[in-house]
Structure 1
Amino acid sequence: MTEQAEQQPPLQPMPADWRRALAVVAHPDDLEYGCAAAIAEWTDGGREVAYLLATRGEAGIDGVAPDECGPLREAEQRASAAVVGVSTVEFLDHRDGVVEYGLGLRRDIAAAIRRHRPELVITLNHRDTWGGVGGGGYWNTPDHKAVGRAVLDAAADAGNRWIFPELVSEQGLEPWDGVRWVAVANTTTPTHAVDAGPGLERAIRSLLEHKAYISALTDQDPEEYVRGFLTGNVQQTAARFGGRPAVPFEVFPR
């Protein structure tokens, strides 16, 4: 255990008394880099998890035009989700790279929460910086920050009939005040964790489905790159989770 880990409190097990989750992120591959091992563990246990992506990742590969890149990355995301037991993957079609926090984004996410009626909502780090479990100074992207903050707000919006009343009048989406937690992956200030051991191999296969994106990202052998990245991440968490490799989350109860 590192000196830094010794100074931090142990991570608590994630709440387990729920049946439905909705994972809301900005781009294809966000969940695979962030928490697919946990999602595999949850679906194995009979829980339902759906994915909602703000964009199709169409601006994510230099040299591939957005109108070609978007469908490619959408297909890779659907294949990736299937590896960890997720069959419902939806896209909001906000523009990749220029997602704006605001009422439109909050409304779209609140509508999805009302449709899916989850008890747990998952998103990605909404803070200005991100890095390893022990902290990090890497600047986060505007899309991640906008979507993460909108998710935290939309979890409350979804339960208030007087916020976005058009969701009832125009779409028939009654309020859903059943979100009990929002769990943020890839945070530098985690509070909880999920044992990564049972789902790690499928998490690796899931990220490997993003073939075009990974091939543009690195010249390293894809499996070597993916295995090294994901294994290193979950090992960093082990010192605060009883020595077990784990996926960390910052949990906000509601």
Structure 2
Amino acid sequence: MTEAQDATPTGGEERPDALPPLPEEGVRRVLCVVAHPDDLEYGASAAVSTWTRRGLEVTYLLLTAGEAGMADPPEVVAPLREREQRAACAAVGVSDLRILGEPDGMLEHGLDLRRAIARVVRQVRPDLVLTTNFDVEAYGGLNQADHRAAGLATVDAARDAANPWVFRDLVEEAWQARALLVAGSDRPTHAVIVDTEAVEAAVASLASHRAYLEHIGDHPAPEEFIPAILRDGGRVAGGEHAVVLRVYELAGLGAESADAGE
């Protein structure tokens, strides 16, 4: 554990050993890419709520509809989970939800998935691309296969989207995102401090997945679980609540968006 991870904030004061804030100057758009409905609701949605309230445009790209995640048949589960995800999006101010419809539980990290994600990157033209932890070991155990495939494909697609000579069959122009963000990493480098309103929005976003949480059965209550995650983030970020992220710069976070003049 690093000194920053050991830090205990006092009154939200800025501390030299705390994680630095995510540089957001000039950021206008964020694309969040995950495998399933609810994947963004375990803390990251508090940052999303903070961004949308600041006027940033946030797009959610779900690679699957999560149809294999419940006991009912996939043709019943897929529309149910989409409805719940749309409610979760509304709770944090997201109106642009896209679902690729790849097979749940069988995502493959390959050219087809990279192309599909790169196309959305070129369409949305985000400054930041966010995904979730794709390590083999994560969240206290072995990470789910779709999470690993989704994260790795997103890493590659974010760079593919910037190269006009990769996926030349796509009609969309190449686009260079400024940074890739990984939520849920156990090696965070930056943080987004969030307020009480964002915490409440994040709780509401997870609670929107009511049928899915009922299916799990022993899932912790969102109103207890989410604030605890965000308090843990606050302890290493010098605030009361925070979303911690591992950040990989692609074009420089200090760079001006190519669309700044639009």
Q: Normalized against structure 2, the TM-score is what? A: 0.87
Tell me by how many angstroms 1:100 deviates: 0.6
Is 1:244 aligned to residue 247 of structure 2?
no
- The CA distance in 2 between the partners of 1:5 and 1:160, in whole Å, is 36
Match of 2:110 among 91, 102, 109: 102
- The CA distance in 1 between the partners of 2:172 and 2:52, in whole Å, is 26
Match of 2:67 among 53, 58, 65: 58
For the residue of structure 2 that corresponds to 1:12, the secondary structure is coil
**Amino acid of the residue matched to residue 240 of structure 1?**
V
- The CA distance in 2 between the partners of 1:45 and 1:4, in whole Å, is 27
Tell me by how many angstroms 1:42 deviates: 0.4
Sort the Cα spacing of 1:21 and 1:4 in 2 relative to 1 into closer, same or farther, 3 A. closer
- The CA distance in 2 between the partners of 1:86 and 1:7, in whole Å, is 33
| Structure 1 partner of 2:227 | 231
| Structure 2 partner of 1:210 | 209
Segment of structure 1 superposing worse, 102-111 or 30-39:
30-39
- The CA distance in 2 between the partners of 1:4 and 1:43, in whole Å, is 28
**Amino acid of the residue matched to residue 242 of structure 2?**
A
* 1:113–1:155 contact (8 Å) kept in structure 2: yes
Sort the Cα spacing of 1:7 and 1:202 in 2 relative to 1 into closer, same or farther, 3 A. closer
For the residue of structure 2 that corresponds to 1:240, the secondary structure is helix
| Structure 2 partner of 1:138 | 141
Tell me by how many angstroms 1:130 deviates: 1.4
Structure 2 gaps of 5+ residues are: 9-16, 251-262
Structure 1 gaps of 5+ residues are: 132-136
Tell me by how many angstroms 1:238 deviates: 2.0
- The CA distance in 2 between the partners of 1:4 and 1:120, in whole Å, is 24
| Structure 2 partner of 1:201 | 200
Sort the Cα spacing of 1:138 and 1:219 in 2 relative to 1 into closer, same or farther, 3 A. closer
* Number of aligned residue pairs: 239
- The CA distance in 1 between the partners of 2:214 and 2:124, in whole Å, is 34
Superposed CA deviations along residues 191-231 of structure 1, whole A, max 9, x for unmatched, are: 111113240001111111111101111256xxx71011111
* 1:34–1:124 contact (8 Å) kept in structure 2: no
Match of 1:119 among 121, 127, 140: 127
* 1:126–1:147 contact (8 Å) kept in structure 2: yes
Tell me by how many angstroms 1:3 deviates: 8.4
| Structure 2 partner of 1:153 | 156
Tell me by how many angstroms 1:7 deviates: 7.5
Q: Over the residues paired in the alignment, what is the CA RMSD in angstroms?
A: 1.8
**Amino acid of the residue matched to residue 118 of structure 2?**
A
**Amino acid of the residue matched to residue 111 of structure 1?**
R
- The CA distance in 2 between the partners of 1:45 and 1:229, in whole Å, is 25
Q: Which runs of 4+ in 1 moved over 3 A?
A: 2-5
**Identical residues among aligned pairs (%):** 44
Is 1:46 aligned to residue 55 of structure 2?
yes
Tell me by how many angstroms 1:149 deviates: 0.7
**Amino acid of the residue matched to residue 191 of structure 1?**
T
Tell me by how many angstroms 1:244 deviates: 2.2
